[in-house]
């Protein structure tokens, strides 16, 4: 779970929340936030949990919204372990960092008008990432195939 940014044509900064499943690499949430607060992140996390189930752990960096008392207490109440990376070690959250690298390659090719326009592009990218783009580290399957249990190479 992490946040990145995209600027629109008016130079307004839009924060983007991404949540990637550790095992399947499936992107479970990709959304431009109207405000970057712990409560906004928790709303998105709760929506994601409602749709996909509760994770054992959530890994984040040490950004203020992730280490706030509200965020930490909420994870504790939900029974979710909070794994924080060491300061300055983005590679410890490599799956989301790699995901954001791929996302930024695509976002750098488009002009964004506003938050709604950005969310349309994020929706399209999420479909591409989960259902079209194969991943070398999951045996050249898509995250959707791994998530659903399809596409496994079986031997007789």
State the average pLDDT for the chain: 91
Q: Name the range with the highest mean pLDDT among 27-41, 76-90, 92-106.
A: 27-41
Is residue 57 very low, low, confident or very high in pLDDT (cuts 50, 70, 90)? very high
Residue ranges covered by each domain of the chain? 2-56+86-148
Between 42 and 93, the more confident residue is 42
At residue 145, the pLDDT reads 94
At residue 141, the pLDDT reads 94
At residue 135, the pLDDT reads 86
Are 14 and 7 in contact by the 8 Å Cβ rule? The answer is yes
Is residue 136 very low, low, confident or very high in pLDDT (cuts 50, 70, 90)? confident
Residue in the block written with tokens 């372990």: 81
d(CA 150, CA 127): 17
Whether this prediction's pTM lies above 0.85 is answered by: yes
Is residue 75 over pLDDT 90? Answer: yes
Write a three-state SS string for 57-122: EEEECCCHHHHCHHHHHHHHHHCCEEEECCCCCHHHHHHHHHHHHHHHHHHCCCCCCCHHHHHHHH
Between 137 and 7, the more confident residue is 7
At residue 156, the pLDDT reads 38
Is residue 154 very low, low, confident or very high in pLDDT (cuts 50, 70, 90)? very low
At residue 21, the 3 state secondary structure works out as: coil
| Residue pLDDT, tens place only, 3-51 | 999 999 999 999 999 999 998 999 999 999 999 999 999 999 999 999 9
């Amino acid at each position: 779970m992490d946040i990145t940014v995209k600027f629109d044509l008016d130079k307004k900064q839009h924060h983007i929340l991404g949540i990637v499943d550790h095992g399947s690499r499936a992107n479970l949430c990709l959304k431009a936030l109207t405000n970057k607060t712990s409560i906004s992140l928790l709303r998105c996390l709760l929506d994601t949990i409602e749709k996909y189930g509760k994770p054992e752990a959530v890994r984040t960096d040490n950004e203020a919204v992730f280490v706030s008392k509200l965020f930490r207490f909420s994870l504790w109440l939900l029974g979710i372990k909070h794994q924080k990376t060491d300061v300055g070690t983005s590679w410890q959250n490599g799956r989301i960092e790699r995901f954001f690298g791929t996302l930024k390659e695509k976002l750098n090719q488009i002009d964004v008008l506003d938050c709604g326009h950005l969310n349309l592009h994020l929706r399209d990218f999420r479909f591409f990432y989960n259902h079209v783009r194969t991943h070398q580290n999951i045996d050249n399957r898509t995250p959707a195939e791994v998530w659903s249990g399809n596409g496994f190479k079986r031997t007789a």
